[in-house]
Amino acid sequence: MSTTSLRDVAATTTSVHSTGVGELDRVVGGGFIAGSTTLLFGEPGVGKSTLALMSLRELAADATPVLLIAAEESVAQVAQRARRLGDVPAGLDVAASTDVDVAERLLRERRPTLCVVDSISAMSDDALGSTAGSVPQVRHVAERLCSVAKETGVALLIVGHVTKDGELAGPRALEHLVDTVIRIEGDRHGSLRLLRALKHRFGPTGEVGLLEMVPDGLREMPDATVLRGPELDVPGVVFTVTNDGSRSFLIEMQALVATGSGSPRRVAHQVSSQRLSLLLAVLESRCAVDTSDLDVFAATAGGLAANEPGVDVALALAVASAALDFAVPRTLAAMGEVGLAGELRAVSGLTRRVREAQRLGATRCVVPSDGELEEVPGVEVIRCRTLAQAIAVAQ
């Protein structure tokens, strides 16, 4: 049995850079690896096909050979989608087929730099008795396509669907067959879209990409400053900063309290309902802010979910501001975790959070008394041991 020098192979291994789709490049660590298979999945209508077509279009515009195997749409439908993105490059080739044999033959004959299969659930092998989209078909087709990609050196991007529970359709083994798994997520009624790598054999999985759905496709958002809402001097609005991968996002926490009839309601939108319940209990027991007979509504503005403990202080301040009827200055940002004793606990990346808050206009930051924090020029850092102290500072 012959052997191969790993050093020689490593020296010739190249990445395919998705030119013009920087947010996708960020998530996959610079580009698709030749011979690798990437799985892109998400809910219907979230923008999977549009994102895949954006990659093909930008590569084709640079004279890179690419191929789209459309298993769910006709060539005319794909062309209509491509026109929404702008000029269609001459090198963007498409074939409409659901036959895995046809797909294999195209990969071997054309050997494109990047091939997109949209979607894996619609592809099938006539030799199997099961229907397209079934567990045996999805696994079998994925195995064949992954094998051909490795053999030919084609970077393969396959599009997958999710079930009604939000899980990847098909067997869980599908995730183990591919090299990279990327999820595109977002509220179908909103415009914000987030890209996350759940698995990546060639790099870290902590990065996140941010895009916005607009009439002519997906627009990249390298800077999320547009998430900040209009300036309204009203109670119940507090800013915080959340870290996700190497990025920091300004989050606008909003709360509203109202007199209701019957049992008080607790409504949480894009914030953790469990954390909201915990913070309401801490506010009542440790800060004398009683909302037991009031309806409490909590949400984030701009479309970004805020479920990490680092937003606890801002969420609690928003509720206290609404309940006590005072407006928190828009130049103040709050960050930190709240414990059951009412203490503020340190969070990771505190310096990066304060820097981002300062960049976006904050002049004061309420942070826990513990935790490492470098000096950030232009912002007054206010250390607080308890949530009660943070409320006093914000008033």
Are 197 and 116 found together in one domain? yes
- Helix H or strand E encompassing 389: helix 387-394
Domain boundary among 169, 191, 222: 222
Between helices 100-110 and 135-152, what is the axis angle to 10°? 10
Are 153 and 137 found together in one domain? yes
Are 278 and 249 found together in one domain? yes
**Per-residue pLDDT tens for 189-202?**
678 888 989 899 98
pLDDT at 280: 97
**Per-residue pLDDT tens for 209-256?**
888 888 888 888 876 654 556 677 899 999 999 988 778 888 899 999
List the structure tokens of 378.
């232009």
Determine the average pLDDT of the residues in 352-380.
92
Cβ count near 376 (within 10 Å)? 20
What CATH number does the domain containing 252 carry? 3.30.230.10
DSSP 221: -
Domain boundary among 222, 239, 266: 222
**Per-residue pLDDT tens for 272-295?**
999 999 999 999 999 999 999 999
Cβ count near 165 (within 10 Å)? 5
Determine the average pLDDT of the residues in 103-120.
94
Determine the average pLDDT of the residues in 55-75.
92
**For 131-214, where are the E strands, in sequence order?**
155-160, 180-185, 192-200, 208-214
DSSP 271: B
Are 199 and 185 found together in one domain? yes
**Per-residue pLDDT tens for 306-347?**
788 999 999 999 999 999 999 999 999 999 999 999 999 999
Structural domain tally of the chain? 2
What CATH number does the domain containing 117 carry? 3.40.50.300
Q: How far apart are CA 349 and CA 310, in angstroms?
A: 10
Q: How far apart are CA 152 and CA 243, in angstroms?
A: 39
